[in-house]
């Protein structure tokens, strides 16, 4: 039996359950406590856990991320919330130079079990500085794991795994989809890091996506189905480590793949997926690996820019017809 829960509520359940289980887990970030979270993810957590474990910080991303790293090296399990990943850029020094490297530098003496989490991606007309995706940035760094999933049930199970993981994990959420609902199982469960989910089975083409782009991808699969094209849809859920096997097995069956990724195209997640597919399923491909990304530009404010910039179902359908050598 399950319940319908919004993504924000599922994420809160994950944090609260882990904090009840393990008193070394704490949550720290801007507006997480008294304001109940900028996007209400941590609503009520201050009341339950108190100000020792649900901690409001000043606006000082580099500082509090570093405090998290130090606390993790010294036996605690911090959850560091960034109001969005755009602001985590200030903290990349601590994430990239320290969280990711502590284990290696100390020859295994110090681990860094920390979760950095917050929303990523565009969220409407927020313009250049507030519309960026960061999966490929973080996934480029050995030592980090990266999760990016908006399905409430899976996001909950993955966040619990991330909190229990002994390595640093970056968790990418979605401002626009905090209210996105899905059935969440009752009781205790985990979703393993590094395993993709097949959201829809199909035979003609493989669609690979993650995070918010799963919505237009599934919408495109519906449209394609109505035109007699059977798409298999894979939700990567974890970006690093990438579940290449699930993607490759699917392509071996469908012989065609379109990757839908809100990151910019250059060296993005879609490029990595394209690489593993051509490397391990070259002989199975009936068409070039194709991708739909955000435009290779900064995102301006006007609605005309947002429309032009983002992947959408129409663009995905067109790409599928292209790899199927159909007219559109």
Partner 1 sequence: MVARKKKTDSAPAHPKERYLYWYELMLRIRRFEERALVMYGQQKIRGFCHVYIGQEAVAAGIESAIRREDCIVTAYRQHGTALGRGVTSREAMAELFGKATGIVKGKGGSMHFFSAKHRYFGGNGIVGAQIPIGTGIAFAEKYKGTDNLCVTMFGDGAARQGALHESFNMAMAWKLPVLYIVENNGYAMGTSVSRTSNVVELYKLGASYDMPSEPVDGMNPEAVHEAVSRAAEYIRAGNGPYFLEVRTYRYKGHSVSDPAKYRTKEEVEAYKERDPIKLIESIIRDKEIATEQELQAIRDLIKEEIDDCVRFAEESPWPDPSELYTDNYVQADYPFIRD
Ligand X SMILES: Cc1ncc(C[n+]2csc(CCOP(=O)(O)OP(=O)(O)O)c2C)c(N)n1
As a 3-state breakdown, the chain gives helix, strand, coil percent values, each rounded to 5, of 40, 20, 40
Q: Does 325 bind partner 1 (CB under 8 A)?
A: no
- How many Å apart are CA 60 and CA 205, to the nearest integer? 46
Q: Which is nearer to ligand X, 64 or 305 (CB)?
A: 64
Our finding on whether 90 is near partner 1 (CB under 8 A) is yes
Beta bridge partners of residue 29, listed in sequence order: 56, 81
Over the window 224 to 263, marking each residue x when it contacts partner 1 by CB under 8 A and - when it does not, the resulting string is ----------------------------------------
d(CA 305, CA 4) in angstroms, rounded, equals 34
Catalytic residue selected from 130, 219, 280, 322: 130
Is 280 labeled as catalytic in the residue annotation?
no
Complete DSSP assignment for 108-161: TS-----EEEEE-S--SS--GGG----HHHHHTSTT-EEEE---HHHHHHHHHH
Q: Which of 16, 42, 86, 161 touches partner 1 by CB under 8 A?
A: 86
Per CB under 8 A, does 284 bind partner 1? no
Residue of 61, 173, 175, 272 marked active site: 61
Q: Which stretch binds partner 1 (CB under 8 A): 81-89, 101-109, 150-158, 172-180?
A: 81-89
Burial per residue of 62-74, b for 16 or more beta-carbon CB atoms within 10 angstroms, e otherwise? eebbbbbbbbbbe
Nearer to partner 1 by Cβ, of 203 and 297: the residue is: 297
At its nearest, how many Å lie between ligand X and the CB of residue 80? 13
CB of 2 to partner 1, least distance (A): 31
Name the binder of 295 from partner 1, ligand X, none, CB < 5-8 A by kind. partner 1
Let me know if 61 is a catalytic residue. yes
303 phi, psi to nearest 5 deg: -60, -30
Query: For partner 1, which is the closer residue by CB, 70 or 265?
Result: 265
Residues contributing to the site for ligand X (CB under 6 A): 30, 59, 61, 83, 87, 90
Coil/strand/helix, residue 36: coil
Spatial separation of the C-alpha atoms in residues 77 and 24, rounded to whole Å: 6
* C-alpha torsion angle, residues 183, 184, 186, 188 (rounded to 10): 160
Task: Please say whether the dihedral angle defined by the alpha carbons of residues 122, 123, 125 and 131, taken in this order, is positive or negative.
Answer: negative
The answer to the question of residue 300 lying near partner 1 (CB under 8 A) is yes
Residues annotated as catalytic (active site), given as ranges: 61, 130
Q: In the complex, which residues of this chain contact partner 1 (CB under 8 A)?
A: 30-31, 34-35, 38, 56, 58-63, 86-87, 89-90, 124-130, 265-266, 290-291, 293, 295-305, 307-309
């Amino acid at each position: 039996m399950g319940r319908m829960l919004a993504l924000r509520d599922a994420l809160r359940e994950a944090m609260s359950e882990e904090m009840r289980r393990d008193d070394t887990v704490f949550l720290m970030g801007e507006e997480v406590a008294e304001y109940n979270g900028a996007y209400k993810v941590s609503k009520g957590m201050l009341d339950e856990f108190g100000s020792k474990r649900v901690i409001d910080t000043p606006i000082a991303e580099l500082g509090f991320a570093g405090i998290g790293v130090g606390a993790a090296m010294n036996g605690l399990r911090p959850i560091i919330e960034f109001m969005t990943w755009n602001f985590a850029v200030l903290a990349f020094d601590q994430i990239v130079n320290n969280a990711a490297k502590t284990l290696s530098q100390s020859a295994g003496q110090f681990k860094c079990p920390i979760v950095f989490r917050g929303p990523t991606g565009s969220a409407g007309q927020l313009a250049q500085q507030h519309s960026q995706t960061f999966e490929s940035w973080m996934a480029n760094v050995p030592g980090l794991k990266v999760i990016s999933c908006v399905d409430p049930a899976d996001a909950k199970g993955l966040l619990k795994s991330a909190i229990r993981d002994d390595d640093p994990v970056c968790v990418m959420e979605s401002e626009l989809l905090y209210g996105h609902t899905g059935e969440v199982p009752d009781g205790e469960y985990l979703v393993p890091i590094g395993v993709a989910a097949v959201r829809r089975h199909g035979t003609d083409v493989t669609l690979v996506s993650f995070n918010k782009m799963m919505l237009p991808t599934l919408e495109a699969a519906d449209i394609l189905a109505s035109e007699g094209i059977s798409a298999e849809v894979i939700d990567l859920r974890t970006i690093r480590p990438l579940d290449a096997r699930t993607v490759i097995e699917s392509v071996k069956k469908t012989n065609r793949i379109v990757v839908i990724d809100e990151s910019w195209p250059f060296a993005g997640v879609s490029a990595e997926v394209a690489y593993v597919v051509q490397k391990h399923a070259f002989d199975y491909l009936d068409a070039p690996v194709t991708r739909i990304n955000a435009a290779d530009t900064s995102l301006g404010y006007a609605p005309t820019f947002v429309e032009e910039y983002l992947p959408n179902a129409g663009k995905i359908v067109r790409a599928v017809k292209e790899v199927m050598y159909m007219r559109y």
